[in-house]
């Protein structure tokens, strides 16, 4: 079953930083002015110029693109530093499509700058983990105060850095 408050971005943030997830859920979104996000969009759009980009799903999520002929969802990323989050975001999209009746879809995680791709499939164990993530996310976003900040190397390049550390 799908959770109406969940989308691919929130799944990614769950695996990166619960505080970022909590802030994003409250529409405190600083990414629109953040150069790294713009660079990521540019990479996605220029890597596969002949494909239709940014396919909107009903949950508000956006697929980078979907190859109908081969039934492959592509997720294009600038760097593999957050690879676990990227994998789960893509697995969420595969799960979403399966629940929506689109079956036998696989995923491909593309890192064009690194010339690296990963083939991704959704397993039964993944589906169970996603359900557990939905439950965890519900607890996190319903907290009155944001989760404690974390102190990781990647915090300095986060759009929420000043909110957490200034």
Query: How far is it, in rounded angstroms, from Cα 13 to Cα 21?
Result: 5
Torsion sign, CA atoms 137, 141, 143, 145: positive
Beta strands in 34-80 (DSSP E): 55-56, 62-63, 65-67, 72-76
Pairing between β-strand 72-76 and β-strand 106-111 as defined by DSSP bridges = parallel
pLDDT of residue 90: 97
Among residues 142, 100, 139, 147, the alpha carbon closest in space to that of 122 is found at: 100
Query: How far is it, in rounded angstroms, from Cα 74 to Cα 31?
Result: 21
Whether the pLDDT of residue 41 is over 80: the answer is no
pLDDT of residue 27: 85
51-64 pLDDT per residue, tens: 555 677 766 667 88
CATH class of the domain at 8-165: alpha beta
Answer whether 31's CB lies under 8 Å from 159's CB.
Answer: yes
pLDDT of residue 64: 84
More confident residue, 124 or 60: 124
Among residues 103, 130, 101, 125, the alpha carbon closest in space to that of 10 is found at: 130
94-121 pLDDT per residue, tens: 999 999 898 999 999 999 999 999 999 9
Query: How far is it, in rounded angstroms, from Cα 90 to Cα 106?
Result: 9
Residue spans per domain, the chain:
8-165
Question: Which residues touch 157 (CB under 8 Å, ≥6 apart)?
Answer: 36
Whether the pLDDT of residue 38 is over 70: the answer is no
Q: Would you place residue 46 in the very low, low, confident or very high pLDDT band (cuts 50, 70, 90)?
A: low
Q: Which whole number is the average pLDDT over 74-91? A: 95
């Amino acid at each position: 079953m799908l959770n109406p408050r969940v989308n691919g971005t929130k799944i990614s943030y769950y695996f990166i930083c619960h505080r970022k997830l909590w802030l994003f859920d409250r529409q405190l979104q600083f990414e629109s002015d953040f150069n790294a996000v713009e660079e990521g969009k540019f990479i996605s759009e220029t890597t596969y110029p002949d494909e239709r980009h940014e396919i909107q799903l009903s949950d508000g999520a956006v697929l980078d693109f979907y190859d109908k002929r081969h039934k492959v969802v592509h997720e294009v990323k600038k760097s593999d530093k957050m690879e676990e989050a990227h994998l789960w975001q893509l697995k969420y999209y595969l799960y979403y499509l399966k629940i929506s009746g689109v079956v036998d879809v696989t995923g491909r995680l593309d890192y064009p700058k690194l010339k690296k791709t990963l083939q991704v499939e959704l397993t039964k164990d993944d589906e169970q983990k996603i359900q557990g993530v939905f439950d965890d996310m519900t607890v996190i976003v319903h907290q009155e105060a944001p989760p404690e900040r974390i102190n990781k190397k990647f915090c300095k390049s986060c759009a929420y850095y000043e909110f957490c550390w200034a």
